[in-house]
Structure formats: structure tokens, C-alpha cells
Amino acid sequence: MSVLVVTHSEDNVCIPAVMEAIRRRGGQPSRFDTDHFHTRVRAAVRYDGPTEELRLTTPEGTFDLAEVTAVWHRRIAFGRWVPQDLEREVRRACVQESRATAMGLLASLRAFHLDLEVNVRSAEHKQLQLRVARELGMETPRTLMTNDPEALRAFAATCPGGLLTKMVSSFAVHRDGKEMVVFTTPMKPADLENTEGLDLSPMTFQERVPKALELRVTIVGDRVFPAAVDSGAIAGAGDDWRRRGPALTESWKPHTLPRELEQRIMRFMDFFGLNYGAMDFILTPDGRLVFLEINPVGEFFWLDDVFTPPISDAMADVMLGRAWRREGLSPAARDLRVGQG
């Protein structure tokens, strides 16, 4: 079986780990670094009478994409190597055309997709995440998403434990070629009187939930991999463990979830049609588990060896059809030829 891994050249160690797991099971993984599309990666899609040709050429060789049985939509980074000195509108058009061509090519593959782009995009909506989690009986923090200063002040009055601010989207600032993540940040009382930023962009505000542990729950097919860390054990990580992520790498441990919560997580994944997701929870000092969000393409690389067998093995099993999985066939998998049903 042939698996196409859609990523970029600077992705982390999860890529070789999953590709090696696929090889150990007799599969054939191929890597598509989307940032090299236009430069080191070439594609050709040809429809000519009865002929259909789907070809991808990378530094590792030329691949017949008609033979691909599974696609892992890991990360995309189109346009990184398109010359910066091009006229702005020309460069934008080149990047847009590259994205449209590649994404259309991937959508046309008669293969299992982990996960379908439409499902991932739906699951990225934070408001919908919270609605579904609440309807499934998960506890969520009191939350306000607004660009209205008066609504913010009224909401703050209902949260005596304080507020945290975060972005709705996966937001990062790029400076000097480096990606700088915008972390969850506590609000100071004075911030309620300095709300000019809401004139430029809405923001998300959540009550500050007391923490005993932070949980990252990775879901692959019908398998759940819960891990926990005491982020408060290191200065500066209490509100967002990512601030001191490398210092906490060795501190993550497997954690056991209540069976009822695992069932709700499965129903959450069913709702969005996802085979993969990375959920964040807070375990409070009094034992409550509070859902924060899911990232449908979230990271797991630092947790891979926390579990035996590792998460990368589960990823390989799902893509090779060796483990249970939700249907991930794109509309391209439907055979519409006359006489074929």
C-alpha cells in the first residue's frame, strides 16, 4: 500500500517516525514537501481521452499518484520558496495557484484521507468545538469571543478568578524568518480599560481555570492516548505550557481518563469525521476535567515515546487500514463510470 505524506521540509521528527512505521508494516510512504512545490517538486496532471495521469516528482523520485491508497494531510506551507522580490500581486497569484493546483490534485486521489480537508476546516472552528463539547456533556470554561469592550467588561465581572486571552485562529507572528507563536496570556485589571486592540481584531477571553495538571489527549482512529503534565512546576508555564515546552518534554506521563469521557471524545470525533485530533484539557484540583479545544492537525512528536506502542504506530495502522478508522474517502473515490453504479 502506498501512503502520501503531505508536509513541508522543516516539519518535525513525527514525519520520519510515521514513515518508518509504515515501512515496517510493508507499506510504501512518499513525502510531498509542499514548500518545495514550484522548485524541487513538480506535478503533472493530465486528462487525455481514456488516459488519466497523476504524477509527482520529488528529489526521491517520480511517483504515480494513482497508486496512492492513503493521504496524510499533515502540514502545508505553499510559497515559502517563491522569490520574495517578485511584484507583490504576482507573487500572491503564484502562491495561490500553487495551492489550488496541489490541493485539487490531492482531492482527486481515490484514496483514504487522514483527514478530509473539509472535515479539518470544520473542526478548526473554535465556536463549533465548544458547542459540540458542551452538547456532549463535557465541561468547558466560561468563554467570550468579542470585539465589544463593554461585553468584555461585563464578562470579566462574572469571572472572579481572572481572565485569559487567546486567539481564535492558529496565529503566529513571523519576524526575521522565524515563527513566533502567540501564547495564551493572563489579563491584568488595567487591560479592561485599555481595549483599543478590539477595534482592530476580535479576541477570545476565557475564565482562568485552576490547574492540577494539563492534559494533551491524542486520538488516532478509535485509540486514545492521554498524557498529563504539571505545567506549574516550571516558572512561566502555568498559563500556557507551550511557553516552556522544551523544558517540560520529559515531564509528560500517561494518564487514565474516565471511560465516560473517552466515549464523549469518540462521539466528538464522529461528529467531525476525524481520525486524528489533539485535544487539550485541564484537570482541576477538585478532579474536574475541562475541555479547552481540539487541534485537528495538532502535534504529538514529543509524546510518541510516552506510550507503548507509540502513537506513530497507531497512525501507520490507520493509514494502512490495519486498524479501525472512520470513513475518510473523498468524493473522488466514487466510481461514476457508466455501468459501475
- pLDDT (0 to 100) of residue 171: 52
What residue ranges in the chain does DSSP mark as E strands? 2-7, 28-33, 42-48, 51-58, 61-64, 68-73, 112-114, 143-146, 163-166, 172-175, 178-181, 185-186, 203-207, 213-220, 223-229, 253-254, 276-283, 289-295
Categorize the per-residue pLDDT at 39 as very low, low, confident or very high, splitting at 50, 70 and 90.
Answer: confident
Task: Quote the pLDDT of residue 341.
Answer: 42
**Mean local confidence (pLDDT), 61-78:** 94
Question: What local confidence, expressed as pLDDT, does residue 173 receive?
Answer: 47
* pLDDT at 177 (0 to 100): 47
Residue 145 CA to residue 126 CA, distance in Å, equals 10
pLDDT at 242: 60
- pLDDT at position 193, please? 80
User: Residue 107's pLDDT is what?
Assistant: 93
* 9: number of Cβ within 10 Å: 15
Residue 336 in this model has a pLDDT that exceeds 60? no
CATH of 117-141+209-326, one of 3.40.50.300, 3.90.1170.50, 3.40.50.12780, 3.30.470.20: 3.30.470.20
Q: Let me know: does 242 contact 183? Beta carbons within 8 Å.
A: yes
Q: Indicate the pLDDT class of residue 335, thresholds 50, 70 and 90.
A: low
Instruction: Return d(Cα 290, Cα 122) in angstroms, integer.
Output: 22
Average pLDDT, the chain: 88
pLDDT score, position 174: 44
- Asked whether 144 and 151 are in contact (CB, 8 A), the reply is yes
What pLDDT score was predicted for residue 184?
Answer: 76
199 vs 228, more confident? 228
| pLDDT at 223 > cutoff 80 | yes
What average pLDDT does this structure show over 117-135?
95
Would you state the pLDDT for residue 191? 80
What's the predicted TM-score (pTM) here?
0.88
**Domain residue spans in the chain?**
2-109, 117-141+209-326, 150-208
> Of 16-20, 99-103, 328-332, which range is least confident?
328-332
pLDDT in tens, 259-314: 999 999 999 999 999 999 999 999 999 999 999 999 999 999 999 999 999 999 99
Query: Does pLDDT of 233 surpass 80?
Result: no
Q: Is the pLDDT of residue 339 over 90?
A: no
